[in-house]
Structure 1
Amino acid sequence: MEEDITLSYQRKVLSDNIQRFLDKRGITQTDMARDIGIAETTVSSWMLGKRYPGLKSQQRLADYFNVKRSDLTEERSSNQVDVSPQTVKIPILGIIACDDPILAEENIIGYRYESPVDLPSGSLCYLEAKGDSMIPKIPDGSQVLIREQSVVESGEIAAVLVNGDKEATLKKVTRQGDTVLLLPLNSDHDPIIIKEDYPARIIGKAIEVKYKL
């Protein structure tokens, strides 16, 4: 009986901590379940105190909220005050090519949560880069923060739709007279020349690159 009471208490502590982190981010259980790839019914069982996540699931939750595992599993001191700033939920869109353009996927595949302190103004999203044409500045697999805008200065890196808005690529936009070139940073790759029969449309300026070592 004492063991049952202890387990029930641990489940409640975990549930309360998860709810606190959800509230801080302004997201729901459904959002979290989708973002970390765990069935919503499983998340619901944690929140209702019916089940307790294993170590791997605990770590996935900790990584998702960017906290220690103990912040989820241990009771919070009654005099502890949260001082971290509110985060901003930024969608991660489908893969965008840094080699030959690939089909643009506008579906949201996840979210990043950033402090609003250093974020630029405007509508923001992250795009996953693929390929080596923009190394070393944009490594394969990195996530690029894009501010939606239809025009960039010559020499700036942008996310550009080509081939009748069917394909997307990250390239350095350069203007030479009336000619617009989409340049790779890796000299092993050829530039893309924008012409009347091969138009392009800028969808946003690359602001920042993030990747794991």
Structure 2
Amino acid sequence: MSDLGNKQVLAENLRHYMDLHGKSRNDLCSALDLSYTTVADWVNGKKYPRIDKIELMANYFGIQKSDLIESKGKHSDISNITPITIPTDTITIKVYGSVPAGQPIEAVEDVIGYEEIPAAWTRFGKEFIALIVKGDSMYPKYFEGDVVIIEVTPDCNNGQDAVVYVNGYDATLKEVHKNDDGSVTLKPFNPEYPPKTYQPGKDGVTILGVVKELRRKM
């Protein structure tokens, strides 16, 4: 079977067992400590998981690896199978529609939902929030309506995607480039939008946090 055929077979089988047990993509992400985009690629037949990930999913559903990777035609009735719960410590974070400049995160009231993240991410006092992407300046890397998990931090690496405040306005997502003269260039991913450079100072760029993970709702 071709590589494309293998991907499609696994995608069909995976969707079957998810439907059979009422499990969503977010359920798999949380239980197996996987990113949303990784699970989405498997479910949509875009990528083929490593064998250890196939075994992880098979254990989760209480089935054999072959049940995921072999073409079965019409699936038999196996509704008596109970998925195995893999303990994974998670915590819930808020999803914000917007984060105004100058307002502490804990005081922001524009909460539109919640996401779960691995508790291990918060070691050493790390803090995380989630934001809804607005606009198309970062398209097609990020779609409007995507959820991005943000590690709250006042700095980022050069070229990293970060949520920033510009001249006191609400937080926006851009690729951050630090220049030798101390200025900062914010580069949209969408070529229809030009990069903009801001000089250091109180009215320049302030970083809220960096993108840890993208979670696209399919």
Question: For residues 168-194 of structure 1, what are the alpha-carbon distances to aligned partners after superposition, in whole Å with 9 as ceiling and x for unaligned?
Answer: 110000022222101101110022221
Q: What SS does structure 1 have at the residue aligned with 2:171?
A: strand
Larger radius of gyration: 1
Residue 129 of structure 2 corresponds to: 125
Residue 206 of structure 1 corresponds to: 211
Larger relative strand fraction: 1
Dislocated runs of 4+, deviation >6 Å: none
Q: Aligned equivalents of 1:187 and 1:123: distance in 2?
A: 32
- What aligned pairs does 1:1-12 form with structure 2 within 5 A after superposition? none
- What aligned pairs does 1:188-203 form with structure 2 within 5 A after superposition? 188-195=192-199, 196=201, 198-203=203-208
Residue 184 of structure 2 corresponds to: 180
Partners of 2:98 and 2:170 within 8 A in 1: no
| 1:106 paired to 2:108 | yes
Q: Aligned equivalents of 2:144 and 2:97: distance in 1?
A: 14
Match 1:90 to one of 88, 93, 105: 93
Partners of 1:148 and 1:204 within 8 A in 2: yes
Question: For residues 141-196 of structure 1, what are the alpha-carbon distances to aligned partners after superposition, in whole Å with 9 as ceiling and x for unaligned?
Answer: 100010010011110010001222x3211000002222210110111002222124
Q: Aligned equivalents of 1:84 and 1:197: distance in 2?
A: 46
In the alignment, structure 2 segments of 5+ residues that lack a partner are: 1-22, 29-82, 100-104
RMSD of Structure 2 on Structure 1 (CA):
3.6
Partners of 2:163 and 2:209 within 8 A in 1: yes
Partners of 2:128 and 2:149 within 8 A in 1: yes
Q: Deviation at 1:199?
A: 1.1
- Give the TM-score normalised by the residue count of structure 2: 0.52
Residue 138 of structure 1 corresponds to: 142
Residue 14 of structure 2 corresponds to: none
Question: For residues 75-113 of structure 1, what are the alpha-carbon distances to aligned partners after superposition, in whole Å with 9 as ceiling and x for unaligned?
Answer: xxxxx98544232111111247xxxxxxx9932222112
Q: Aligned equivalents of 2:137 and 2:117: distance in 1?
A: 27
Question: For residues 35-74 of structure 1, what are the alpha-carbon distances to aligned partners after superposition, in whole Å with 9 as ceiling and x for unaligned?
Answer: xxxxxxxxxxxxxxxxxxxxxxxxxxx97x959xxxxxxx
Aligned partner of 2:92: which letter?
K
- What aligned pairs does 1:38-77 form with structure 2 within 5 A after superposition? 66=27
Q: Aligned equivalents of 1:137 and 1:95: distance in 2?
A: 20
- How many residues align? The count is 136
Partners of 1:182 and 1:193 within 8 A in 2: yes
| 1:148 paired to 2:152 | yes
Q: 1:176 to 1:115 in 2, by over 3 A?
A: closer
Residue 62 of structure 2 corresponds to: none
Aligned partner of 1:106: which letter?
V
Q: Aligned equivalents of 1:197 and 1:189: distance in 2?
A: 25
Q: Aligned equivalents of 1:197 and 1:84: distance in 2?
A: 46
